[in-house]
Structure formats: C-alpha cells, structure tokens
Amino acid sequence: MIRSDIIRGHLDAIILRLILEKDRYGYEISKEISLRTDDCFQIKEATLYAVFQRLEKKELLESYSGGVSKGGKRKYYSITTLGKAYLKESVAEWKVTKNIIDLFMEGLD
C-alpha cells in the first residue's frame, strides 16, 4: 500500500483522467483506482467526494443524475472543456516532475 500523501497532489488529475475515458460515478472511480493499481492505492469515499466538489466548483467537472441502482440514483460526472485543458497542463507538469524525481531516485535499488 502506498502512502496517500505521495499521491494526494495528483488526485485531481487521476480522477479527471478516468472521467475523460467515460462518464463515471463515484464508486466506479474508487473501484477502478483499486483495480488499476492492484490495490496498492485506494481512495477513501470522503476524499473522493471532496475532490468531486472541488472539481465541480472549479468547473472542471459537471454532474448529472443517472439510472437507479439498488434504490438510489447514481450521480455521474463528466469532464468539461476546461477540465480537459487542466488535465493536459497537469500531465505536462507531471512529466517534468517525474523527470526531476527520477534524476535523484533511479538506480538506488
């Protein structure tokens, strides 16, 4: 399990990336993160919904009601044009950051 503070600064981009692929609802995103990381990283529900609120407030995401599942309506999220631009910037920033960290961390097995 990876420490969440290492990834915390990149949660917005991770979530936007998943929603860029297709509109998703919260539980689906949580499960997808666990699946893709082989359970090395799991996002707490409270953290996930705080990110949704922040991204909606910044107009990077939009939400809408979807179908009913187990008695309740699912809230789906879709990425906005502004969200796509933000994600593109985040990816460019991540590449620079990764290169800098790699300079100091690689070869230290």
Domain ranges of the chain: 4-105
What is the pLDDT, as a whole number, of residue 9? Answer: 84
- Find the mean pLDDT for residues 8-12: 89
- Find the mean pLDDT for residues 58-83: 90
Classify domain 4-105 at the CATH topology level: Arc Repressor Mutant, subunit A (1.10.10)
**What type of residue is 107?**
G
Query: 93 is written with which tokens?
Result: 């920033």
Given a cut of 90, whether residue 61 has pLDDT beyond it is: yes
Given a cut of 80, whether residue 36 has pLDDT beyond it is: yes
Q: How far apart are the first and last CA of the chain?
A: 18
- Find the mean pLDDT for residues 73-79: 93
Cβ-Cβ contacts under 8 Å for 44 (sequence gap 6 or more): none
Rounded to the nearest integer, the mean pLDDT of the chain is 91
For residues 35, 47, 29 and 82, what is the CA-based torsion angle, rounded to 10 degrees? -130
Query: 102 is written with which tokens?
Result: 């790699």
What is the pLDDT, as a whole number, of residue 32? Answer: 96
- Find the mean pLDDT for residues 56-74: 87
